[in-house]
Amino acid sequence: MSYPLSGLKVLDFSRVLAGPFAGRMLSDLGADVVKIEPPEGDVTRYWGRVIAHLPGYYHQQNAGKRNICIDLRQPSAKDLIFSLVAEADIVIENYRPDVMTRLGIGFDDLKRVNPRIIMLSISGFGHDSPESKRPAYAPVIHSEAGLIHRSSVEALDSGIESHFQDLPLSVADTNASLHGLVGVLAAVILRSSTGEGQHIDIAMIDATI
């Protein structure tokens, strides 16, 4: 069977949900996705029910990906990453906006190695926000966007006793991931005529609102 994204190569530096969810969908569509983990591994390796020695959360979001370990803090890591980027089409990351640049592997660094590279960055508040350096898991975004308040008010209006509590699913993560994936696929199509990649900066707060 031929898959629509067969031939595309993806480097997935992301962790937890927002980034890995996009990488999982790219893999499902046929892309060759390589997950790059630090020595301590993605924290979700410790989450979820373990069946046959496999933690459910991690394997749900990373099924179909290949995997390598790189310590980004080591001086030699940058050259290794550049060699991978030279052969890649897409890079996914969801660190705080200053991290990749500080490590010398931000978009400007990568496009010098490969002008066709498409980079998807997912963060809580985006790269050019006054709050860009704030770490943000989904509950923070749910709160700031008003979803937690709204769900409580809706329950009270329906006669249900309600307290402020987080949503039962990570809407901020998956919405940002889906919006990011649309941007990535649009960038792949545009690149076929321009020959140039793009940096797609997705803020979870924007996607949620």
Question: Rounded distance, CA 73 to CA 91, Å?
Answer: 18
Question: Which residues form the catalytic set?
Answer: 173
pLDDT value of position 157: 60
Question: Rounded distance, CA 142 to CA 175, Å?
Answer: 11
Alpha helices in 29-137 (DSSP H): 56-62, 77-85, 99-102, 107-113
Q: DSSP letter for 81, please.
A: H
pLDDT value of position 156: 58
Question: Rounded distance, CA 185 to CA 188, Å?
Answer: 5
Per residue in 117-129, pLDDT (tens digit) is 999 999 999 888 8
Q: For the chain, which ranges sit under pLDDT 50? A: none
Per residue in 171-198, pLDDT (tens digit) is 889 999 999 999 999 999 999 999 999 9
Question: Rounded distance, CA 105 to CA 115, Å?
Answer: 14
Question: Rounded distance, CA 114 to CA 26, Å?
Answer: 20
